[in-house]
């Protein structure tokens, strides 16, 4: 039979490990945002796992040192299934949009696809694409999961 103190320490270790894991899963994800020299774009979501029907806040950030240009006000945002099938693009006004270095725009996805149906559970790729001042394409993506 194990000593009482050993059992207490094991229980405390398991409970604290579980609590710390839950904390890490729910903490804002700042590793998606990395500032670099030159053209760069970052997509930041508040977490990776979302409940079905939960609004997903997406920050499109110019994380480089050069201005970025987008063809419309949707900032090149696309949400696809991992197979590449387009699920959602925000309606954008066809006006040239710019993001200066350090600037950001916040967009929301309510998990409604372009065809009006609700998105199913699964993995989704969120990407944004713009161009730098030399006309080179700048693209970034991240993946989120929708659960029940």
pLDDT of residue 31: 64
- Burial label for 78, CB within 10 Å (0-12, 13-18, 19+), is middle
CB distance 42 to 138 below 8 Å:
no
C-alpha to C-alpha distance for 38 and 65, rounded to whole angstroms: 5
20, 72: one domain: no
**DSSP line for 113-136:** -TTSPBPPSEEEEEEEEEE-TTS-
Q: Which of 49, 51, 46 is nearest to 32 (CA)?
A: 46
Q: Which structural domain range is residue 16 located in? A: 1-28
Per residue in 77-131, pLDDT tens?
999 998 899 999 998 888 999 999 999 999 999 999 999 999 999 999 999 999 9
pTM over 0.85: no
73, 114: one domain: yes
45: CATH: 2.60.40.3880
Q: Which of 16, 118, 128 is nearest to 77 (CA)?
A: 128
pLDDT of residue 14: 85
CB distance 40 to 77 below 8 Å:
no
pLDDT band at residue 22 under the 50/70/90 scheme = low
119, 63: one domain: yes
């Amino acid at each position: 039979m194990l000593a009482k103190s050993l059992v207490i320490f094991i229980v405390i270790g398991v409970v604290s490990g579980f609590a710390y894991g839950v904390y890490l899963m729910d903490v804002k994800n700042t590793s998606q945002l990395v500032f670099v020299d030159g053209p760069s774009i970052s997509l930041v979501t508040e977490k990776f796992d979302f409940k079905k029907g939960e609004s997903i806040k997406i920050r499109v950030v110019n994380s480089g040192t050069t201005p970025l240009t987008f063809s419309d006000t949707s900032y090149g945002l696309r949400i696809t299934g991992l197979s590449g099938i387009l699920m959602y693009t925000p309606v954008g006004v066809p006006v040239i949009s710019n993001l200066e270095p350090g600037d950001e725009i916040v967009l929301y996805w309510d998990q409604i696809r372009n065809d009006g149906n609700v998105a199913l559970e699964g993995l989704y790729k969120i990407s944004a694409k713009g161009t730098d001042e030399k006309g080179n394409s700048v693209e970034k993506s991240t993946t989120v999961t929708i659960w029940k």
